[in-house]
Copies of this chain bind each other. A is one copy, B any other.
Amino acid sequence: MSEEPTAKRSKVEDAEALIPSQEFDAIDNIQSELDALNDQAGDEIVKIEQKYNALRAPVYAKRSEAIKSVPNFWGIAFLNHPTLSSTVAEVEEGFIQHIHSIEVEEFADIKSGYKIKFSFHPNEYMETEQIEKEFHLTGDTPYSKVTPIVWKAGNNVLEQITRNRHPIPSDSLTFTEWLLSDSDPTMDEIAEIIKDDLWPNPVQYFLVPDIEEDDEEENGEGAE
């Protein structure tokens, strides 16, 4: 195992001694020109994204209102989503049916982060009706923070999850565990799926249940 890196390494050292320093300064200056162009391009793209976030906001607000008239829209979309559904433990399924709305809001400067707002119908699981989870992506230590949940007596979903299984690896949090965790927001797969996939177009997940199971269902439970 250690032979190969050493072989590569010695070539690297020989070659470093050969760097002509003026030529190298020239490359470094050119690289700075490229950096400056990249920064400018980034700034222009952020401005466009801000402009379209502002244009999309009222349309998203209209969509949120319309969605409220479809019973359990978000719960169904969530349970139909191929990745998100796998985060929902059995004890969480009832809880998820009470989601009244999901909204994603990027911070004004875009790069610094976003928040996901869940609101719930009054339900048997918790007093809390509005949960906001914020993802702060910049600064020395990116962090996430979330509204604390006040569970109703005997119905603490998080406790039930913890009681029902052994400690789990951090890469397979259930929905509630994810919601209440303060994981590193720069690599939060669930948050990113909600923001970049579910939120932009939830209708596709609301409408399309898992195809593979259709045949079994029809044979086993064809009630009507």
Query: With A52-B40, A52-B41, A221-B10 known to touch, is A5 a contact of B210 (CB < 8 Å)?
Result: yes
What is the number of residues of chain A that contact chain B, defined by CB distance less than 8 Å?
65
Number of copies of this kind of chain in the complex: 2
The reply to whether B93 and A8 form a contact with Cβ atoms under 8 Å apart is: yes
Query: With A18-B71, A37-B59 known to touch, is A217 a contact of B45 (CB < 8 Å)?
Result: no
User: Which residues of the partner chain B approach A28 to less than 8 Å between Cβ atoms?
Assistant: 203
The complex places the Cα of A11 from the Cα of B96 at a distance, in Å, of 12
Query: With A8-B93, A93-B8 known to touch, is A48 a contact of B41 (CB < 8 Å)?
Result: yes
The reply to whether A27 and B203 form a contact with Cβ atoms under 8 Å apart is: yes
Query: With A30-B59, A213-B6 known to touch, is A44 a contact of B48 (CB < 8 Å)?
Result: yes
The yes or no answer to A62 lying at the interface (CB within 8 A) is: yes
Interface residues of A (CB under 8 A from B): 4-13, 15-16, 18-20, 23-24, 26-28, 30-31, 33-34, 37-38, 40-41, 44-45, 48-49, 51-52, 55-56, 59-60, 62-63, 66-67, 69-72, 75-76, 79-80, 85, 88, 90, 93, 97, 200-201, 203, 209-210, 213, 216-217, 220-221
The complex places the Cα of A13 from the Cα of B213 at a distance, in Å, of 12
- Per DSSP, chain A at the interface is helix
User: Which residues of the partner chain B approach A79 to less than 8 Å between Cβ atoms?
Assistant: 8, 11-12
User: Which residues of the partner chain B approach A201 to less than 8 Å between Cβ atoms?
Assistant: 31, 34
Query: With A10-B221, A18-B71, A48-B44 known to touch, is A66 a contact of B27 (CB < 8 Å)?
Result: yes
